[in-house]
């Protein structure tokens, strides 16, 4: 640790600065009363273009992204590049979807996607399913932010032999995060995102200019990566895809693109926007982050050319591939710049972790607590429950890292993507049509979850020795096909979900089973800032806040 004093000092100073910003954020763009879920959990639905761009970008591109994508490129080559095309196709895919969701949510005061489903399909059961699914998928995602911080701390030597000594810095960091999120709500990550994204852009742009120069140019970097993969015994490793992993690559990219904006934290950032125009501009501008991600991914090949050796893992004989990027910076840059890079990764965990915990808290508060435990809850009581729930969620995330093998947490995140995809028929299709029956959507969810769970159970992980839940690449041979190819579990599961929903809808309609009453009208999906219906609702909301 003594060899990293400069890095530790810079990391600590920048970490404390942004933590201070988190506490100050409660007075930034502050309303008269924070005791309202719209204010605490959605920032007053008032964020403009720049704030939303940094907030959503900081939400989607997490600390784990900055260490895991290059680590996957380092270990497997081109297969790890799937993260780049899926973040390219996602924005046109959701351009029209998100503005419709924003409009109907703004018109009715929805805080979560489950709120929309509850009103659209007149089904508290379907809303509960969507809410529980969102919380389940979010929890391991929050835990993974800790892995990014842990990789940096390990590289700086801030670790220990005992479980408490090894995790104490992370526990302290998340305690600070919990404190300022409790106080400032969504305004905290929105303000910190400016610093986080600026640091990341500076660090990556310097790295992609300096490292190729120092390592002999891009030809040398790609030659070194190619030589490593040519010598690898793994059949699918390489700087190009092969016939066996092309289908997995395509379906994983498509499935991940569909899943990303179904996550509650992604929707939370969108619903905090001021108007439809903000969302349109952001869906057009956010691909700039995809360019950044492509450059980040190439750090994996640079690490190969630099001869980086990952630090040992938690189990004897294993390696922690998440330390590849931190070690690369530690070896190739002066200590002061490495400290800045480490702070960028560490701070990069705070923004998404805060938004994720807020989103999970919003789901519990609106769709479990208010729906089933206290229907007459006031705005102040909702806000208080959400704050407490956000603390519980963070404690759960820390527990995942402390008591579970971090590699298992990574696999849990892959499972999380399969899980959240099962809300697509209700949320995405529901924005355009109510043809699907509410009972059929529940049946489709059950079918998708069951098939997804069975497929995940069949997948081993050779690296960890685990026989089940070892990844998301399902061998087609398990379906009786004569093929060595694999396919993304989530893609198959959501197709089965949609198929069952359609078939059961036909059956329920033939049986004349009640469909409930649609609580929305077509104009709701076109409402914008300044719509008189919205203004009347806001006026009523302010009156309610004042009365409480």
Q: 429-445 pLDDT, tens per residue?
A: 999 999 999 999 999 99
Residue written as tokens 């400016």?
194
Query: For residues 353 and 394, is the Cβ–Cβ distance under 8 A?
Result: yes
Residues 6+ apart with CB under 8 A from 453: none
pLDDT (0 to 100) of residue 534: 65
State pTM to two decimals.
0.91
**What Rg value do the Cα atoms of the chain yield, rounded?**
23
The answer to whether 390 and 358 are in contact (CB under 8 A) is: yes
Helix/strand/coil for 232:
coil
Q: Taking a C-beta distance cutoff of 8 angstroms, is the pair 113, 134 a contact?
A: yes
**Does residue 367 have a pLDDT over 90?**
yes
CB 439 within 8 A of CB 504: yes
Indicate the helix (H) or strand (E) that contains 415.
Answer: helix 406-421
Task: Encode pLDDT of 247-258 as tens digits.
Answer: 989 999 999 889
What is the average pLDDT value for the chain, to the nearest integer?
87
Structural contact between residues 130 and 113, judged by C-beta atoms closer than 8 angstroms: yes
At 132 the pLDDT is 95
- What is the enclosing helix (H) or strand (E) of 320? strand 319-320
Spatial distance between the Cα atoms of 271 and 304, rounded to a whole number of angstroms? 41
Alpha carbons 382 and 366: distance in angstroms, whole number: 8
Closest CA to 345 of 7, 52, 80, 77: 7
Max mean pLDDT among 341-345, 365-369, 456-460, 470-474 falls in: 365-369
Mean pLDDT of 27-49: 86
pLDDT 10s digits, 93-115:
899 999 999 999 999 999 999 99
pLDDT tens string 189-236: 999 999 888 999 899 999 999 999 999 999 999 999 999 999 988 888
Whether residue 161 has pLDDT greater than 70: no
Give yes or no for a contact between 472 and 542, defined as CB atoms under 8 angstroms apart.
Answer: no
Distance CA 454, CA 456 (A): 6
């Amino acid at each position: 640790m003594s060899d990293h004093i400069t890095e530790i000092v810079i990391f600590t100073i920048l970490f404390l600065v942004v933590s201070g910003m988190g506490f100050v954020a409660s007075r930034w763009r502050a309303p008269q009363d924070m005791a309202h879920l719209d204010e605490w959990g959605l920032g007053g639905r008032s964020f403009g273009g720049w704030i939303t761009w940094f907030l959503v970008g900081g939400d989607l591109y997490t600390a784990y992204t900055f260490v895991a994508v290059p680590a996957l490129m380092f270990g497997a080559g081109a297969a790890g590049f799937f993260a780049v095309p899926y973040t390219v196709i996602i924005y046109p895919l959701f351009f029209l979807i998100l503005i419709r969701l924003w409009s109907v949510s703004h018109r009715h005061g929805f805080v979560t996607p489950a709120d929309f489903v509850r009103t659209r399909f007149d089904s508290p059961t379907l809303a509960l399913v969507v809410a529980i699914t969102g919380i389940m998928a979010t929890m391991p995602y929050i835990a993974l932010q800790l892995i990014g911080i842990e990789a940096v701390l390990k590289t700086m030597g801030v670790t220990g032999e005992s479980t408490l000594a090894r995790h104490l810095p992370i526990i302290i960091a998340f305690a600070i995060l919990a404190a300022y999120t409790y106080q400032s709500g969504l305004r905290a990550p929105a303000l910190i995102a400016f610093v986080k994204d600026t640091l990341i852009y500076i660090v990556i742009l310097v790295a992609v200019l300096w490292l190729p120069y120092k390592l002999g140019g891009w030809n040398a970097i790609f030659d070194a990566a190619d030589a490593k993969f040519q010598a690898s015994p793994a059949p699918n490793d390489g700087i190009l895809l092969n016939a066996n992993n092309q289908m997995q690559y395509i379906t994983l990219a498509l499935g991940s693109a569909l899943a990303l904006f179904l996550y509650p934290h992604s929707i939370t950032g969108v619903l905090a926007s001021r108007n439809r125009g903000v969302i349109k501009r952001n869906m057009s501008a956010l691909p700039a982050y995809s360019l950044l991600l492509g450059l980040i991914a190439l750090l994996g090949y640079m690490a190969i050319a630099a001869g980086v050796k990952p630090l040992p893992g938690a189990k004897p004989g294993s390696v922690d591939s998440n330390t590849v990027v931190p070690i690369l910076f530690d070896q190739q840059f002066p200590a002061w710049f490495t400290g800045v890079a480490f702070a960028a990764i560490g701070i990069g965990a705070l923004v998404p972790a805060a938004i994720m915990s807020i989103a999970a808290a919003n789901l519990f508060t609106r769709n479990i607590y208010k729906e089933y435990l206290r229907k007459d809850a006031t705005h102040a009581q909702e806000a208080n429950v959400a704050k407490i729930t956000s603390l519980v969620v963070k404690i759960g995330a820390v527990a995942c890292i402390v008591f579970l093998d971090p590699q298992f947490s990574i696999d849990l995140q892959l499972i999380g993507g399969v899980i959240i995809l099962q809300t697509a028929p209700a949320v995405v299709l529901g924005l355009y049509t109510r043809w699907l029956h509410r009972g059929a959507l529940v049946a489709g969810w059950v079918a998708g979850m069951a098939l997804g769970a069975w497929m995940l159970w069949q997948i081993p992980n050779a690296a960890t020795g685990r026989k089940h839940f070892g990844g998301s690449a399902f061998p087609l041979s398990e379906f009786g096909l004569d093929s060595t190819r694999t396919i993304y579990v989530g893609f198959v599961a959501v197709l089965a979900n949609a198929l069952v929903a359609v078939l059961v809808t036909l059956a329920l309609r033939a049986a004349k089973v009640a469909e409930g009453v649609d609580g929305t009208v077509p104009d709701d999906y076109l409402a914008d800032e300044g719509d008189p219906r919205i203004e009347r609702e806001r006026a009523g909301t302010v009156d309610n806040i004042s009365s409480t």
